[in-house]
């Protein structure tokens, strides 16, 4: 016993020494602590989200209120607003492009995975930090550099990239094609290359940490579903981001060295370009091989966070723990073999189209399993409507209603009519954009006490939820109709076509709803930043949750746990167990202390507890 104590004091000493040696730069800027890096990602993501959503409001005003005078935006947009107060059409395209790029990559990939994988993986598996703190720090700073470059491109005189976030060549490959295809596109490509490096550094770290640094007793079948989702997300990123790098590299060569990977037989003002023998469809194949998994890279962390938050706040074990893991694995696998459903109208062989259609529709099966499990977890639970819980339930709603239109779009025959209309826009905004954003909100509301040691205001959180939830549906349900009516996406205005006239009021309605939802986000922003400094002090375990992060000090220091790492004896979903004193039993409580609530097979596990305690710590700071 005394030996153990001696070890612990030595350990604590080592810690204090560690703290002393950190100056401001090491502690807050080039920090290798996963919790600080997570906050860096979160704050950067929030800033990007404000920029990205503001852009969407500007082009929604243009679409819904085409006669409005935008002169009041001159202080920000300057020359992009004409003398008569009209938005520059080229800049409109740039806005659409940048909105997509920013929201998909910078907010919902970096901001979501970057924040919660970093924050929760070590805390929930019982590790002191990520496998490589240095790589983790590097990952954030590559992301920061990518952010700076992308942000800088907004201020170019020729405008940022404007070929759509999918940057299809030849539009993106030829500077003559569009003002934004010049320097704007160059910066876009440079920024994305750095972004990919950042994601790979981060993802490799997440996978390594989850597999190798789990604490004693944290077997794979005891991992919280959040960790499972982060692990699968990171694997998706590891496999698909190099492919995007590949397509970006070839595009850079076409743009700057004159190769013809994607270019062939192009005439500009009657003059033929020298490029012969390229294939623009090749780019689409490469791009969507990343692009489709990217949808799940964005969504899966949200689904994982939701699993955790719904189980905790329903005070019930998650329904179908193994089915949840299996469905995530199924979704991840299918994500790689459905990319061509984005390309049904590229002249692909109809038979090939039907194969991809079939594979695409199979995704409905694991997705339905997840939807079913969320609802059955909620069923007859003692639901606590915290803001995090509301956003999680909202995610399930958006996931289901957005997923249903996915079944329609997955049909190669229906896609001929619906391709590149607002129906597609509405579909992916519900299922991928809004659902993932709700996952992000749920995560922030739920883990804010752990991040900052303070509570967010729950009433403001609930108001924020209802405004956002209603706003989102008011935007995107009518948008489906506009899409079926045949409105193509990325058009500057619809005033000159006969068929669009009778939908003008609907478009205006969508725009007003978008502005309303945008304004509602300021409730969140105020709540978030105010609570960081002035929120009420967080208790040890505010949501009475089972996972390991709530066993750390309220504001964990570097290394997360004082003394030795906790051991894990059970899964993380022992809520409302019959016979138990409390309605939750944290993962680090051995079965020998809960005799009143054990099932017979769990009583047998008591004999193994000593063996678990004797196992290795996997403690990076103190390897035995």
Partner 1 sequence: MENIQQVKMDKGPRETLAMDPVKFILWLFLVSIIMLFASQTSAYLVRRAEGNWLEFEMPKIFWYSTGVLIASSLVMQYAYFAAKKDQFNQLKIAISITFALGLAFLWMQFEGWKQLVDMNVYFVGNPSGSFFYVFTGLHGFHIITGLIVLITALTAAFRLNIHSKNLRRIQICTTYWHFLDILWLYLFVFLLTFN
Query: Residues interacting with partner 1, by CB under 8 A?
Result: 131-132, 135, 200, 203-205, 207-209, 211-219, 238-243, 245-247, 249-250, 253, 257-261, 276-279, 282, 285-286, 289, 607-608, 610-612, 614-616, 618
Given the complex with partner 1, which of 94 and 204 has the nearer CB atom?
A: 204
Given the complex with partner 1, which of 278 and 388 has the nearer CB atom?
A: 278
Burial 569-578 (b: 16+ CB within 10 A, else e): bbbbbbbebe
Distances (CA, A) of 196 to 143, 167, 237, 487: 9, 16, 9, 33
**Ranges of H-type helices in 21-33:** 24
Given the complex with partner 1, which of 98 and 243 has the nearer CB atom?
A: 243
Smallest gap from residue 5 Cβ to partner 1 (A): 21
Given the complex with partner 1, which of 55 and 207 has the nearer CB atom?
A: 207
Smallest gap from residue 472 Cβ to partner 1 (A): 35
CA distance 586 to 573: 8
Smallest gap from residue 264 Cβ to partner 1 (A): 8
Given the complex with partner 1, which of 250 and 425 has the nearer CB atom?
A: 250
241 close to 134: Cβ distance less than 8 angstroms = no
SS3 621: coil
Nearest to 460 by CA among 452, 448, 473, 476: 448
In 10 A of CB 549, how many CB atoms? 21
Smallest gap from residue 184 Cβ to partner 1 (A): 24
DSSP annotation of 327 reads H
Given the complex with partner 1, which of 260 and 588 has the nearer CB atom?
A: 260
Smallest gap from residue 218 Cβ to partner 1 (A): 6
Smallest gap from residue 204 Cβ to partner 1 (A): 4
- Phi first, then psi, for residue 175 (nearest 5°) are -60, -25
Given the complex with partner 1, which of 198 and 500 has the nearer CB atom?
A: 198
Nearest to 453 by CA among 549, 540, 384: 540
- Phi first, then psi, for residue 421 (nearest 5°) are -105, 180
Given the complex with partner 1, which of 18 and 610 has the nearer CB atom?
A: 610
Smallest gap from residue 121 Cβ to partner 1 (A): 13
Smallest gap from residue 181 Cβ to partner 1 (A): 20
Give burial (CB, 10 Å; 0-12/13-18/19+) of 172.
buried
CA distance 500 to 596: 68
Smallest gap from residue 37 Cβ to partner 1 (A): 17
Given the complex with partner 1, which of 353 and 388 has the nearer CB atom?
A: 353
Given the complex with partner 1, which of 81 and 244 has the nearer CB atom?
A: 244
Contacts of 597 (CB under 8 A, 6+ apart): 577, 578, 579, 580, 585
Given the complex with partner 1, which of 487 and 591 has the nearer CB atom?
A: 591
Given the complex with partner 1, which of 158 and 259 has the nearer CB atom?
A: 259
Contacts of 55 (CB under 8 A, 6+ apart): 95, 98, 99, 102
> Cis bond leading into 170, ω under 30°?
yes
Cα-Cα end-to-end distance for the chain: 17
Give burial (CB, 10 Å; 0-12/13-18/19+) of 416.
exposed
Given the complex with partner 1, which of 103 and 197 has the nearer CB atom?
A: 197
CA distance 617 to 465: 41
Smallest gap from residue 510 Cβ to partner 1 (A): 38
H or E, element range at 405: helix 387-409
Smallest gap from residue 286 Cβ to partner 1 (A): 6
Smallest gap from residue 334 Cβ to partner 1 (A): 18
CA distance 32 to 136: 7
Could you tell me the sign of the dihedral formed by the alpha carbons of 417, 423, 425, 431, in that order? Answer: negative
CA distance 505 to 507: 5
Smallest gap from residue 114 Cβ to partner 1 (A): 17
CA distance 366 to 363: 6
Contacts of 624 (CB under 8 A, 6+ apart): 616, 617
Contacts of 76 (CB under 8 A, 6+ apart): none
């Amino acid at each position: 016993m005394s030996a153990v104590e001696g070890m612990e004091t030595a350990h604590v000493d080592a810690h204090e020494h560690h703290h002393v040696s950190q100056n401001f730069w090491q502690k807050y800027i080039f920090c290798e602590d996963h919790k600080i890096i997570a906050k860096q990602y979160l704050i950067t993501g929030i800033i990007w989200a404000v920029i990205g959503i503001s852009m969407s409001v500007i082009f929604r005003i243009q679409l819904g209120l085409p006669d409005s005078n935008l002169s009041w935006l001159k202080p920000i947009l300057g020359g992009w607003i004409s003398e008569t107060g009209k938005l520059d059409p080229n800049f409109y395209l740039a806005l659409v492009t940048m909105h997509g790029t920013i929201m998909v990559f910078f907010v919902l990939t970096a901001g979501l995975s970057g924040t919660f994988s970093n924050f929760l993986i070590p805390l929930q598996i019982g590790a002191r930090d990520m496998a490589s703190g240095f790589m983790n720090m590097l990952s954030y700073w590559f992301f920061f550099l990518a952010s700076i470059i992308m942000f800088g491109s907004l201020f170019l005189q020729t405008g940022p990239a404007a070929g759509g976030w999918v940057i299809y060549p030849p539009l993106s490959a030829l500077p003559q094609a569009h003002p934004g295809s010049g320097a704007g596109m160059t910066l876009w490509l440079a920024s994305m290359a750095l972004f990919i490096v950042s994601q790979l550094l981060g993802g490799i770290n997440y996978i390594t940490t989850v597999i190798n640094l789990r604490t004693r007793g944290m077997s794979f079948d005891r991992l919280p579903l959040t960790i499972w989702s982060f692990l699968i997300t990171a694997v998706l990123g590891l496999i698909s981001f190099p492919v995007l790098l590949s397509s970006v590299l070839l595009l850079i060569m076409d743009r700057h060295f004159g190769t013809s990977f994607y270019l062939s037989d192009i005439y500009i003002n009657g003059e033929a370009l020298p490029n012969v023998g390229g294939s623009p469809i090749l780019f689409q194949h490469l791009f969507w091989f990343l692009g489709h998994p990217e949808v799940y890279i964005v969504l899966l962390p949200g689904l994982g966070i939701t699993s955790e938050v719904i189980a905790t706040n329903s005070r019930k074990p998650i329904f179908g723990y193994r089915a949840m893991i299996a469905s995530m694995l199924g979704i991840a696998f299918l994500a790689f073999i459905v990319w061509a459903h984005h390309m049904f109208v590229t002249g692909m062989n109809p038979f090939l189209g039907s194969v991809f259609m079939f594979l695409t529709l199979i995704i409905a099966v694991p997705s339905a399993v997840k939807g079913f499990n969320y609802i059955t977890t909620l069923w007859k639970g003692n639901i606590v409507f915290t803001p995090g819980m509301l956003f999680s339930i909202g995610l399930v709603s958006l996931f289901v209603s957005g997923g249903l239109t996915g079944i329609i779009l997955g049909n190669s025959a229906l896609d001929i009519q619906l391709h590149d209309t607002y129906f597609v826009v509405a579909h992916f905004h519900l299922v991928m954009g809004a659902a993932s954003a709700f996952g992000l909100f749920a995560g922030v509301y739920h883990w804010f006490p752990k991040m900052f040691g303070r509570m967010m205001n729950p009433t403001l959180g609930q108001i924020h939820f209802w405004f956002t939830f209603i706003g989102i549906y008011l935007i995107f349900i009518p948008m489906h109709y506009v899409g079926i009516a045949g409105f193509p996406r990325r058009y500057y205005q619809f005033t000159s076509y006969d068929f669009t006239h009778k939908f003008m009021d609907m478009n205006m309605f969508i725009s007003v709803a978008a502005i309303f939802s945008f304004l509602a986000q300021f409730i969140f922003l105020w709540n978030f930043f105010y609570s960081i400094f002035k929120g009420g002090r967080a208790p040890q375990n505010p949501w009475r949750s089972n996972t390991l992060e709530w066993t750390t000090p309220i504001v964990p220091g570097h290394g997360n746990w004082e003394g030795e790492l906790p051991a894990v004896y059970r899964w993380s979903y022992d809520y409302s167990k019959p016979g138990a004193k409390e309605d939750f039993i944290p993962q680090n409580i051995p079965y020998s202390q809960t005799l009143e609530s054990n099932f017979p097979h769990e009583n047998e596990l008591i004999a193994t507890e000593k063996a678990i305690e004797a196992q290795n710590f996997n403690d990076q700071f103190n390897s035995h």
